[in-house]
Amino acid sequence: MRDFSKLTLKADHENRPLWVCPDGRIYLEAQSPLYGPAYDFLVAIAEPVARPEFVHEYRITPHSLYAAVSVAISPEKIVSVLDKLSKVKLPEAVEDFVKGCTKNFGRAKLVLRQNRHYIESHEAGALRELLSHATIRGSRDDVKEDGVASEDEFAEGEVQAEAAANRAYLELEAELDEEDEDAAAEDPKAPTKKAAEKAQKTLSFRLRQGAAQEVKRIAAKDLEFPLQEEYDFRHDSVNATLPIDLRPSTRIRNYQEKSLSKMFGNGRARSGIIVLPCGAGKTLTAIVAAATVKRWTLVLCSNATAVAQWKNQFLLWTTLDSRRISLFTADVKDDLHDDCGILITTYHMVSFGGTRAAAGERLIQQVKTREWGLMLLDEVHVVPAATFRKVLALCNAHCKLGLTATLVREDNLITDLNFLIGPKLYEANWMDLTHAGHLANVQCVEIWCPMSGPFYREYLRNGGAGQALAPDVDDASSAARRRRLLYVLNPVKFRACEYLVHLHEARGDKTIVFSDDVYALLSYAKALERPAVYGATKEAERQAILASFRFNSAVNTVCLSKVGDVAIDLPEANVIVQVSSHFGSRRQEAQRLGRILRAKPNSDGTDGFNAVFYTLVSRDTDEMFYSTKRQQYLVDQGYTFKVVTDLPDRGPDSVLNTPEKELDLLNDVLTSHSLKEEEAEEKAIKDAANGGIDVTRRATIAATKLSGGEGRAYYEYDAPVTDASSSKKRHRLFKSRAAKKARTK
Ligand SMILES: Nc1ncnc2c1ncn2[C@@H]1O[C@H](COP(=O)(O)OP(=O)(O)OP(=O)(O)O)[C@@H](O)[C@H]1O
Specify the ligand 1 atom closest to the Cα of 252.
1
Q: Taking 90 as the threshold, does the pLDDT of residue 251 lie above it?
A: yes
The reply to whether ligand 1 has any atom less than 6 angstroms from the CB of 282 is yes
Task: Note the pLDDT of residue 474.
Answer: 66
pLDDT of residue 295: 95
The widest CA-to-CA distance across the chain, in whole angstroms, is 96
Looking at residue 9, what DSSP letter applies?
B
Q: Report how far ligand 1's centroid is from the alpha carbon of 288 (Å).
A: 13
Distances (CA, A) of 454 to 458, 523, 671: 6, 18, 15
**287 close to ligand 1 (CB < 6 Angstrom):** no
ipTM of the complex: 0.97
List Cβ neighbours of 712 (8 Å cut-off, separation of 6 or more).
Answer: 628, 631, 632, 635, 641
Q: Is a pLDDT exceeding 50 seen at residue 721?
A: no
pTM above 0.90, yes or no: no
Q: What is the pLDDT of residues 309-357, one digit of tens each?
A: 899 999 999 999 999 999 999 888 999 999 999 999 999 999 887 777 8
Cα separation of 558 and 454, whole Å?
Answer: 29
pLDDT band at 729 (very low <50, low <70, confident <90, very high): very low
Which atom of ligand 1 is nearest to 571's Cα? 29
pLDDT of residue 559: 95
Check pocket membership of 593 for ligand 1, CB cut-off 6 A: no
Per-residue confidence at 584, pLDDT binned at 50, 70, 90? low
The closest-lying atom of ligand 1 relative to the alpha carbon of residue 378 is: 22
The arithmetic mean of pLDDT across residues 414-435, rounded, is 81
- Measure 279 CA to ligand 1 centroid, in angstroms: 5
Instruction: Decide if pLDDT at 129 tops 50.
Output: yes
Mean local confidence (pLDDT), 566-582 = 83
Q: How far is the CA of 599 from the centre of ligand 1 (A)?
A: 9
162-216 confidence digits (pLDDT tens): 333 334 444 444 454 455 445 445 444 444 444 444 445 778 888 988 888 889 8
pLDDT of 593 over the 90 cut: no
The 10 Å Cβ neighbour count of residue 670 is 14
> What is the rounded CA–CA span in Å between residue 384 and residue 477?
26
Q: Is 251 in the pocket of ligand 1 (CB under 6 A)?
A: yes
Ligand 1: distance of its center to the CA of 245 in Å? 18
DSSP collapsed to 3 states, 651-713: HHHCCCCCHHHHHHHHHHHHHCCCCHHHHHHHHHHHHHCCCCCCCCCCCCCCHHHHHCCCCCC
Could you tell me which of 721, 723, 724 has the C-alpha nearest to residue 645? 721
Q: What is the arithmetic mean of pLDDT over 140-168?
A: 42
Please give the distance, rounded to the nearest whole angstrom, from the Cα atom of residue 439 to the centre of ligand 1.
10
- Strands 203-206 and 116-121 come out as antiparallel
Per cent of the chain over pLDDT 70 is 78
Distance 57 CA to ligand 1 centre (A): 28
Contact in structure between 584 and 706 (CB atoms under 8 Å): yes
Q: How far is the CA of 595 from the centre of ligand 1 (A)?
A: 12
pLDDT score for 319: 95
Cα 282 to averaged position of ligand 1 atoms, centre (Å): 6
Query: Is 405 close to ligand 1, i.e. is its CB under 6 Å away?
Result: yes
How much is the average pLDDT of 262-270? 83
Average pLDDT (91-115) is 86
Closest atom of ligand 1 to CA, residue 316: 31
Residue 675 reports pLDDT greater than 60? no
Non-local (6+) Cβ contacts of 440 within 8 A are 279, 434, 574, 596, 597, 598, 599, 600, 610, 611
The atom of ligand 1 lying closest to the CA of 405 is 25
Beta bridge partners of 598: 439
User: In this predicted model, what pLDDT tens digit does every residue of 622-634 receive, in sequence order?
Assistant: 888 887 777 787 8
Q: What is the pLDDT of residue 567?
A: 62
For the Cβ of 564 lying below 6 angstroms from any atom of ligand 1, the answer is: no
Q: pLDDT at position 285, please?
A: 97
Instruction: Establish whether residue 18 lines the binding site of ligand 1, counting it when its CB lies within 6 angstroms of any ligand atom.
Output: no
Which residue type sits at 248? P
Whether 281 is in the pocket of ligand 1, judged by its Cβ within 6 Å, is: yes
**In contact, 411 and 697? CB cutoff 8 Å:** yes
pLDDT of amino acid 8 = 83
Q: In angstroms, rounded to a whole number, what is the distance separating the alpha carbons of residues 136 and 129?
A: 10
Residue closest by Cα to atom 6 of ligand 1: 281
**What is the distance between the alpha carbons of residues 157 and 119, in angstroms, rounded to a whole number?**
20
Rounded Cα–Cα distance for residues 421 and 402 (Å): 7
Tens of pLDDT, residue by residue over 689-700, are: 543 333 333 333
Residue range 425-432: mean pLDDT, rounded: 86
Quote the CA–CA distance of 363 and 366 in Å, as a whole number. Answer: 5
Q: How far is CA 62 from CA 51, 125, 276, in A?
A: 21, 22, 22
Q: Is the pLDDT confidence value at 29 over 90?
A: yes
Residue 503 has pLDDT above 90, yes or no: yes
Those residues with Cβ within 8 angstroms of residue 745's Cβ, 6 or more apart along the chain or in another chain: none
- Cβ pair 713, 52 in contact under 8 A: yes
CA distance 427 to 405: 9
Residues 6+ apart with CB under 8 A from 144: 151, 154, 155
pLDDT score of 253 more than 50: yes
Handedness of CA 213, 218, 224, 227 (dihedral sign): negative
**Is 594 close to ligand 1, i.e. is its CB under 6 Å away?**
yes
CA 270 to ligand 1 centroid distance, Å:
23
Burial of residue 138 (CB within 10 Å: 0-12, 13-18, 19+) is middle
- Helix (H/G/I), strand (E/B), else coil: 410: coil
CB atoms within 10 A of CB 438: 21
pLDDT interval class at 703 (50, 70, 90):
very low
Give 414's pLDDT tier (boundaries 50, 70, 90).
low
Q: Is the pLDDT of residue 150 over 60?
A: no
Among 258, 284, 301, 310, residue to substitute to test ligand 1 (most atoms within 8 Å of Cβ): 284
Compute, in angstroms, the gap from residue 569 CA to the centroid of ligand 1.
11
Instruction: Give me the pLDDT at residue 544, please.
Output: 92
Gap from CA of 538 to ligand 1 centroid (Å): 27
Contacts of 643 (CB under 8 A, 6+ apart): 445, 446, 447, 448, 714, 715, 716, 717
Is residue 144 in contact with ligand 1, taking CB distance under 6 Å? no
Residue owning the nearest CA to atom 25 of ligand 1: 278
Q: Mean pLDDT over residues 400-410, rounded? A: 80
Q: What is the pLDDT of residues 270-316, one digit of tens each?
A: 888 999 998 899 999 999 999 999 999 999 998 888 898 899 999 99
Residue 737: per-residue pLDDT: 41
CA-closest residue to ligand 1 atom 15: 281
Which ligand 1 atom lies nearest to the CA of residue 306?
Answer: 27
Angle 62-70/92-102 helices, nearest 10 degrees? 60
More confidently predicted of 650 and 159: 650
pLDDT score recorded for residue 627: 79
Q: What's the pLDDT score for residue 241?
A: 93
Q: Is the CB of 569 under 6 A from ligand 1?
A: no
Distance from the CA of 418 to the center of ligand 1, in angstroms? 25
CB 48 less than 6 A from any atom of ligand 1: no
**Ligand 1: centre distance to CA 341 (Å):** 23
Q: How far is the CA of 277 from the centre of ligand 1 (A)?
A: 10
Specify the residue with its C-alpha closest to ligand 1, atom 12: 281
> Ligand 1: distance of its center to the CA of 623 in Å?
33
411 CA distance to ligand 1 centroid (A)? 27
Interatomic CA distance for residues 554 and 218, integer angstroms = 58
Using CA atoms, how far apart are residues 347 and 362, in angstroms rounded to an integer? 17
pLDDT digits (tens, 9 = 90+) for 531-567: 999 888 887 898 899 999 999 999 999 999 888 776 6
Mean residue pLDDT across the chain:
79
Alpha carbon nearest to ligand 1 atom 2, residue: 252
C-alpha of residue 283 to centroid of ligand 1, in Å = 6
Which pLDDT score is estimated for 292? 96
Which of the listed residues 275, 282, 307, 407 should we mutate to test ligand 1's pocket, taking the one with most ligand atoms within 8 A of CB? Answer: 282
Judge contact between 281 and 306, C-beta under 8 A: no
Minimum mean pLDDT among 81-95, 337-351, 427-441: which range? 427-441
pLDDT, mean of residues 355-365: 85
Q: How far is CA 215 from CA 207, 276, 385, 504, in A?
A: 9, 29, 17, 55
Closest ligand 1 atom to Cα of 379: 25
Element housing 269 (H / E): strand 269-270
Q: Output 492 or 149, whichever has higher pLDDT.
A: 492
CA distance 499 to 649: 5
pLDDT of residue 577: 95
Measured in degrees and rounded to the nearest 5, phi and psi for residue 533 equal -120, 125
Mutate to test the pocket of ligand 1, among 283, 401, 565, 572 (most ligand atoms within 8 A of CB): 283
Q: How far is the CA of 598 from the centre of ligand 1 (A)?
A: 8
> For 486-503, what is the mean pLDDT?
94
The reply to whether ligand 1 has any atom less than 6 angstroms from the CB of 252 is yes
Task: Determine whether the shortest distance from the Cβ of 278 to ligand 1 is under 6 A.
Answer: yes
Q: For 441-485, write each residue's pLDDT tens digit.
A: 999 999 999 999 999 998 988 877 777 776 766 677 778 888 888
Give distance in angstroms: CA of 139 to centre of ligand 1: 42
